[in-house]
């Protein structure tokens, strides 16, 4: 519907403008941007993983440190007859005797409680009584410091049983050692600062290395652009062969395109030169007749002959010009449909001879070029075979050799059971520039078109005696393509 088309086009245009305008046009910029994003993501993940690993390790170290304080207390701890704790003369750490020092100790008994001098004036979390050899590590837990400010601590506890002595029964007790969480946070803060400084420095170094690697890896592309510029300026005839393997298809395609364009230009020049040269003789004859003052009837007869001759020459040269050019990268064309169409027409023209045309066509055979070129190629070969055959014509088409990542070639052959062509006459028949009235054996102007077409596709044309039918065999071999 018209309304639908009117809506779709602006929408697609707006989408391209919205999402396509920001894309970098430089390959180096694209690669550097992608590498930078990947590097940043990697460093972020690596930094996060190292940070988590350090925090876990720091917590484990703090647990072991607090556990060592608790075990040191256990070795020197003693109780009086009433089951109360006897304070140590020298604690495991001097901070335990300093008010609000950040390191605290507690001993929890079934009916009593003891704490180190450093806990005086502090509000600590409740400490449960643990079972024998039961351990507990937790934090950060909230506390209230001596100056009334809130803070947090990590706490480690372990349960023991005091053995019975002098008629006193055994009793359980638990030792707790607490440390200010600021100690762990300070360690983590120092580590994180050093970690991101080193990771950032490593990132900058890697980014510089990536820039150097990109510059080195993209240098062949710069050479390709430089060579192409030299070709455009006429300083070189084509691209060199000294390129990385990945760029070889590109440079080969460029060389093939340059060669194809150069050959097309040469063909056009040759066609115009041949046409001008061919018309000189008829024009000179007419000029001679006019200057000689021959009668009107003879002049009219000569004029008719020369006009027909010039018309044939012009038709021939135009046919050559029309069929000489072809697309370098063309879609594959099947053989059999075009062959059927040509043979049906020829069988009508040569119905009186009763010639039968047989096909030996491989279904995989394809012609990579212009359909018109295929029709001209097969049409001229088949018409020539129908003209000279007695009763049989054979058309053969098979795919040629093919390498990896290259299209297959083509073998196209036409055999007839006619008189054949003498080996010494082949070179003369296929000689370039021979006019129609100079061609022997009655093969006509079509063979010149066939030869130019085969040459245009960088193929080979061979003429020899047919082993199957006994007449002539015209064999066309087209090479594998890019």
- Reply yes or no on whether the pLDDT at 327 is more than 80: no
Pick 411 or 215 by higher pLDDT. Answer: 411
- C-alpha 41/C-alpha 248 separation (Å) is 35
C-alpha to C-alpha distance for 449 and 174, rounded to whole angstroms: 109
- How far out from the chain centre does Cα 12 lie? 25
What pLDDT is attached to residue 313? 67
pTM: 0.47
Nearby residues of 192 by Cβ (< 8 Å), 6 or more positions away: 51
Name the maximum alpha-carbon separation found in the chain.
165
Nearest-Å Rg of the Cα atoms of the chain is 49
Q: Decide if pLDDT at 384 tops 60.
A: yes
Q: What average pLDDT does the segment 411-428 reach?
A: 87
Instruction: Please tell me the predicted confidence (pLDDT) of residue 471.
Output: 92
Tell me the C-alpha to C-alpha distance, in Å, between residue 99 and each of 117, 119, 120, 359.
6, 7, 7, 110
pLDDT for position 336: 92
Q: Is residue 9's pLDDT more than 60?
A: no
d(CA 383, CA 346): 7
Is 8 a residue whose pLDDT tops 50? Answer: no
Query: Which tens digit of pLDDT belongs to each residue from 153-163?
Result: 999 999 998 88
Per-residue pLDDT averaged across 268-289, rounded? 68
Torsions phi, psi for 467 (to 5 deg): -75, -25
- Beta-carbon contacts of 40 under 8 Å, excluding residues fewer than 6 positions away, are 203
Pick the most confident of 220-224, 403-407, 431-435.
Answer: 220-224
CA distance to 84, 112, 179, 185, 232, per residue, from 194 (Å): 48, 47, 24, 14, 56
Burial 16-28 (b: 16+ CB within 10 A, else e): eeeeeeeeeeeee
Work out the mean pLDDT of the chain and round it to a whole number.
Answer: 80
The reported pLDDT for the residue numbered 443 is 42
> How far is the first Cα of the chain from the last one, in angstroms, to the nearest whole number?
42
The pLDDT value given to residue 405 = 64
């Amino acid at each position: 519907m018209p309304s639908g088309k009117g809506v779709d086009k602006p929408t697609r245009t707006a989408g391209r403008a919205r999402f396509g305008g920001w894309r970098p046009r430089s390959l180096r910029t694209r690669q550097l941007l992608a590498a930078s994003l990947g590097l940043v993501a990697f460093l972020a993940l690596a930094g996060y993983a190292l940070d988590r690993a350090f925090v876990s390790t720091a917590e484990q170290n703090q647990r072991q440190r607090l556990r060592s304080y608790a075990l040191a207390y256990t070795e020197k701890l003693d109780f009086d007859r009433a089951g109360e704790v006897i304070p140590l003369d020298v604690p495991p750490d001097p901070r335990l005797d300093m008010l609000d020092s950040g390191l605290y100790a507690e001993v929890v008994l079934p009916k009593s409680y003891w704490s180190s001098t450093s806990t005086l004036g502090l509000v600590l979390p409740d400490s449960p009584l643990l079972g024998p050899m039961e351990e507990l590590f937790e934090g950060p837990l909230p506390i209230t410091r001596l100056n009334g400010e809130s803070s947090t601590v990590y706490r480690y506890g372990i349960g023991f049983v005091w053995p019975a002595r002098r008629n006193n029964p055994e009793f359980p007790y638990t030792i707790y050692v607490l440390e200010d969480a600021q100690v762990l946070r300070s360690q983590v803060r120092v580590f994180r600062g050093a970690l991101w400084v080193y990771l950032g420095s490593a990132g900058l170094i890697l980014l510089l290395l990536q820039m150097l690697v990109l510059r080195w890896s993209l240098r062949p592309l710069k050479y390709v652009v430089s060579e192409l510029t030299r070709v455009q300026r006429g300083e070189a005839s084509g691209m060199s062969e000294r390129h990385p393997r990945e760029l070889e298809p590109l440079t080969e395609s460029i060389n093939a395109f340059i060669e194809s364009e150069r050959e097309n230009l040469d063909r056009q020049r040759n066609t115009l030169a041949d046409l001008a040269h061919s018309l000189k003789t008829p024009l000179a004859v007419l000029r001679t007749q006019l200057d000689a003052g021959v009668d009107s009837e003879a002049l009219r007869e000569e004029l008719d002959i020369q006009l027909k001759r010039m018309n044939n020459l012009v038709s021939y040269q135009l046919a050559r010009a029309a069929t000489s050019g072809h697309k370098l990268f063309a879609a594959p064309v099947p053989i059999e449909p075009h062959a059927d169409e040509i043979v049906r027409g020829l069988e009508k023209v040569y119905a009186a001879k009763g010639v039968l045309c047989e096909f030996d066509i491989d279904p995989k055979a394809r012609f990579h070029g212009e359909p018109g070129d295929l029709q001209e190629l097969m049409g001229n070969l088949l018409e020539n075979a129908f003209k000279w055959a007695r009763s049989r014509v054979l058309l053969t088409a098979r795919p040629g050799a093919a390498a990896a990542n290259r299209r297959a070639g083509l073998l196209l052959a036409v055999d007839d059971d006619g008189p054949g062509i003498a080996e010494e006459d082949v070179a003369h028949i296929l000689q370039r520039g021979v006019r129609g009235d100079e061609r022997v054996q009655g093969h006509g102007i079509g063979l010149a078109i066939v030869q130019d077409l085969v040459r245009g596709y960088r193929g080979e044309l061979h003429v020899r005696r047919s082993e199957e039918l006994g007449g002539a065999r015209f064999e066309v071999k087209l090479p594998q393509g890019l």
